[in-house]
């Protein structure tokens, strides 16, 4: 009977192997060497991963234990001299969810291994230094996860829109930033830059919600309405920053941010992919386990 | 009929009013003006609150939302000039759970409002300053929750046991600490000092567990066995610190720490009681809501 098939054994059709899902970092990465037009990106899109809220919340929660474990490994490795660490840079318009990301995404991690810094308008002392000075001082140490809520990019965003420095000077900063980030990468810092892409309409809704709830009035600043009037200028400034500062060492990721659950999932997943690529290991002990055991039992 | 009771209406017995539970802070507070003998305190005790693990875990989880809300209120109040903040000081022998407390208890909070600092052996620069210098630099800012994993107390603990400074100098530090903490209180810092009370036996078990799991070897230092040999000296140093530095402004709380679930519940509850006493309020907006609403809708 077997001969009838030319010697080949009849086999059941195997279960189809699903095509491997593309890494989210490849989906969200800002293309290099292209003009960026932010109006072409839908801020409500769910370009990969869960497509509805219930699935998204569950998927995000499911990432938690793995993120926590990788963070512990990264920290553990640093105690044995591994200098690697991760820096998440969050940028986006007012209400785009930088603070919410810290609360919900960084909440997965052990807080003692996180170094969080929210950058406000520079102080007098900070203004007397190069714009990267305060950034250097806030960097994560080996084994840590650093989070910047705003960053050195403010110096080419609000600084450009509000003309806080001569245009000539601002133009030089893109190169300074790229060189700085290249040095960070060489020193073991994985820089994950996330632009929270919010729509003009969603910002209006979020600002209105703050106004409607007296418990949120402390978060509202009438100045936010004036900043909103400069939306096209800010969009342009972001487009330039994304174009000029997406490098191999530190690309920008464009995360649709109108849906909070999608934003939280996408950033959690991006962090997971980067931590998995680092693949940090628990370092072995440099002591005699049996001997220590015996000494302990004698106490 | 009513007359038969002398004009009084017959009433059903009311539901008995339960006796109010004593505040945990009153239960765990180190008594003032007394000799402290740590051997008299059972490190496995559950002196108030849940008495078994399942109840304890549920009770701790149930405290989370209220803790997070109070933290947000505290932070919100600071944006309107309220200088109040909270500082949790964690001290205890090796493996007593200082790190675990940060992970499990501080995990209730929004990490961006927490300022966590683990104090190690002082650096060269720190040694060139008074011992409180590095402490001052790590203090929480208004609205924040600060957490010290070890603290200025190391300068009267390991410094005393290991004779890192002349005894005369160490003796003066208790008064310096009390004056420092009084100033903190005057500046709006609620200082919650927790001594994690671990038993000698439980420490042995925890060190053995680290030895038995290669993924935990990075946490093990053979030097810990030598420190353990100085247990009586450390206990004495703790007794003196608890005696001399329990003040009205900054009392010590003695938390039994052999059961991790109880430790986590007790510290969560202590923080809750202190935050509730602060009763921070969301500040009202200082803008015209209707006018802002109209301006926003026009955009």
Q: How confident is the model at residue A9 (pLDDT cuts 50, 70, 90)?
A: low
Maximal C-alpha separation, chain A? 89
Predicted confidence (pLDDT) at residue B29 exceeds the cutoff of 90: yes
DSSP B64-127: HHHHHHHHHHHHHHHTTT---EEEEEEEESTTSSHHHHHHHTGGGS-GGGEEEEE--SPPHHHH
Residue A22 — pLDDT band, cuts 50, 70, 90? Answer: confident
Domain A27-280 listed as CATH 3.20.20.300: no
pLDDT in the model for residue B1: 43
| Angle at the Cα of B158 from the Cα atoms of B157 and B163, rounded to 5 degrees | 105
Across B275-288, b (16+ Cβ under 10 Å) vs e yields beebebebbebeee
Whole-angstrom Cα distance, residue A186 to residue A202? 39
* Residue B284 Cα, gap to closest chain A Cα (Å): 6
CB contact under 8 A, A214 and B118: no
pLDDT of residue B265: 98
pLDDT at A1: 43
Mean pLDDT, residues A80-99 taken together:
97
pLDDT for B20 equals 77
Range with the lowest mean pLDDT among A269-283, B12-26, B153-167, B188-202? Answer: B12-26
- Residue in chain B nearest A104 by alpha carbon: B110
Looking at the complex, report in whole angstroms how far the Cα of residue B112 sits from the nearest Cα belonging to chain A: 6
| Residues on chain B bordering chain A, Cβ-to-Cβ distance under 8 angstroms | 76, 79-80, 99, 102-103, 106-107, 109-112, 114, 116, 118, 147, 149, 204, 207-208, 211, 214-215, 217-220, 222, 225, 228-229, 282-285, 287, 289, 292-293, 295-297, 299
Report, as an integer, the average pLDDT of B128-142: 98
The closest of A163, A160, A153 to A237, measured between CA atoms, is A160
The C-alpha angle with vertex A72 and arms to A67 and A73, in degrees rounded to 5, equals 100
CA distance B61 to B114: 19
A:B CB pairs within 8 Å: 118
Beta carbons of A217 and B110 less than 8 Å apart: no
Minimal C-alpha gap between B244 and chain A (Å): 30
Q: B224-239, pLDDT tens digit by residue?
A: 999 999 999 999 999 9
What mean pLDDT comes out for the span B26-55? 96
Mark out chain A residues that contact chain B at CB-CB < 8 A.
Answer: 76, 79-80, 99, 102-103, 106-107, 109-112, 114, 116, 118, 149, 204, 207-208, 211, 214-220, 222, 225, 228-229, 282-285, 287, 289, 292-293, 295-297, 299
Architecture in CATH of B46-281:
3-Layer(aba) Sandwich (3.40)
Confidence of residue B9 (pLDDT cuts 50, 70, 90): low
Q: How far is A115 from chain B (nearest CA, A)?
A: 9
pLDDT above 70 covers a percentage of chain B that reads 96
Which of A175-179, B18-22, B184-188 has the least mean pLDDT? B18-22
For chain B, what is the mean pLDDT? Answer: 95
Query: In the prediction, which pLDDT does A16 show?
Result: 78
Sign of CA dihedral B265, B271, B272, B274: positive
Structure token digits, residue A49: 């991963």
Mean pLDDT (whole number) for A86-110: 96
pLDDT at B15 over 90: no
| pLDDT tens digits, one per residue of A163-214 | 999 999 999 999 999 999 999 999 999 999 999 999 999 999 999 999 999 9
H helix or E strand, kind and range, residue A88: strand A85-92
B153 near B125, Cβ under 8 Å?
no
pLDDT tens digits, B243-299: 999 999 999 999 999 999 999 999 999 999 999 999 999 999 999 999 999 999 999
Find which of B112, B140, B204, B228 to mutate to test the A interface (most A CBs within 10 Å of its CB): B112
* pLDDT bracket for residue A10 (50, 70, 90): low
pLDDT of residue B10: 60
Cα radius of gyration rounded to whole Å, chain B: 23
CB contact under 8 A, B285 and A76: no
DSSP single-letter state for residue A282 = P
Taking the C-alpha atoms of residue B165 and residue B168, their distance in angstroms, rounded to an integer, is 8
Give me the pLDDT at residue A72, please: 98
Of A76, A99, A289, the CB nearest to B218: A76
Q: Read off the pLDDT band of B2 (50, 70, 90).
A: very low
Alpha-carbon span A5 to B169, nearest angstrom:
94
Angle subtended at Cα B269 by Cα B268 and Cα B270, rounded to the nearest 5 degrees: 95
Asked if B252 contacts B242 with a C-beta cutoff of 8 angstroms, the reply is yes
Asked whether the predicted pLDDT for residue A2 surpasses 50, the reply is no
């Amino acid at each position: 009977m077997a001969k009838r098939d030319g010697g080949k054994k009849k086999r059941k059709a195997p279960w189809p192997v699903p095509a491997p899902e593309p890494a989210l970092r490849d989906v969200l990465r800002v293309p290099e060497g292209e003009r960026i037009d932010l109006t072409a990106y839908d801020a409500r899109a769910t370009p990969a991963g869960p497509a509805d809220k219930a699935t998204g919340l569950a998927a995000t929660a499911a990432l938690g234990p793995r993120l926590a474990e990788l963070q512990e490994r990264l920290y553990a490795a640093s105690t044995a001299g591994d200098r690697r660490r991760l820096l998440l840079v969050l940028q986006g318009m007012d209400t785009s969810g930088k603070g919410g990301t810290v609360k919900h995404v960084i909440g997965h991690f052990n807080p003692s291994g996180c170094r969080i810094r929210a950058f406000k308008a520079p102080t007098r002392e900070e203004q007397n230094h190069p714009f990267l000075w305060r950034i250097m001082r806030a960097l994560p140490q080996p084994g840590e996860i650093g989070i910047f809520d705003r960053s050195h990019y403010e110096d080419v965003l609000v600084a450009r829109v509000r003309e806080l420095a001569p245009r000539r000077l601002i133009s030089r900063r893109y190169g300074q930033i790229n060189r700085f980030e290249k040095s960070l990468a060489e020193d073991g810092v994985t820089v994950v830059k996330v632009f929270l892409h919010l729509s003009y309409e969603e910002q209006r809704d979020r600002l209105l919600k703050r106004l409607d709830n007296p418990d949120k009035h402390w978060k509202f600043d009438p100045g936010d309405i004036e900043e909103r009037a400069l939306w096209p200028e800010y969009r342009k400034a972001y487009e330039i920053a994304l174009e000029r500062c997406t490098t191999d060492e530190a690309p920008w990721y464009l995360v649709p941010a109108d849906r909070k659950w999608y934003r939280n999932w996408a950033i959690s997943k991006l962090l997971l992919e980067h931590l998995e690529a680092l693949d940090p290991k628990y370092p072995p002990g440099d002591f005699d386990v049996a001997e220590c055991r015996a000494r302990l039992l004698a106490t």
